[in-house]
A = this chain, B = another copy of it.
Amino acid sequence: LIWRGDDCRVILIHDPDLPGFCRVIWNRHVSEMSELTYGERDLLMNLVFAVERAIKSTMEPFKINLASLGNQVPHLHWHVIPRYKDDAFFPNTAWSARARETPAAIIGERQKRAAELPKAIRAAIAELA
């Protein structure tokens, strides 16, 4: 757990292929964005974009992927995923078939950066207030 508020929480997924993969989860049970009020949606998306900014500056990825899927766990949550041209799935999605193995040294360097993420994400969220 990186951060917890009344409505949402942010967690760092320790994904062995995709260091820095974070999830923003709505605490109360709802399935779809359209079940939230405008204010709730705004709050959640501001958090998602704060996490995006922190990942962008800390992880320096080629691209950020954002997704709210929830087919398997219909509890509203957002994936925020730093992507690199040499990651296991690039250029396909993080849920696509594996395309390659990323060298362990590169994964290790990204894991080091990901260790800085909790602090960067908390700072980005503090700036929203």
The segment from A3-11, A15-23, A28-36, A113-121 found at the interface with B is A28-36
On whether the beta carbons of B74 and A69 are closer than 8 Å, the reply is: no
The total of chain A residues at the interface (CB under 8 A) is: 31
* Interface residues in chain A, defined as those with a beta carbon under 8 Å from any beta carbon in chain B: 31-34, 41-42, 45, 49, 52-53, 56, 62-72, 74, 83, 90-93, 95-97
Q: Which residues of B contact A52 (CB under 8 A)?
A: 32-34
Q: Which residues of B contact A42 (CB under 8 A)?
A: 42
On whether the beta carbons of A65 and B56 are closer than 8 Å, the reply is: no
Task: State how many angstroms separate the Cβ of A93 from the closest Cβ of chain B.
Answer: 4
**Shortest 9 CB-CB contacts between residues of A and residues of B:** A67-B67, A93-B95, A71-B91, A66-B68, A65-B69, A72-B91, A34-B53, A34-B52, A95-B96
Q: Which residues of B contact A90 (CB under 8 A)?
A: 71
Q: Which residues of B contact A69 (CB under 8 A)?
A: 63, 65-67, 93
On whether the beta carbons of B71 and A63 are closer than 8 Å, the reply is: yes
Residue contacts A-B, CB under 8 angstroms, 11 given: A31-B63, A32-B63, A33-B66, A63-B71, A65-B69, A65-B71, A66-B66, A71-B90, A92-B95, A95-B96, A97-B97
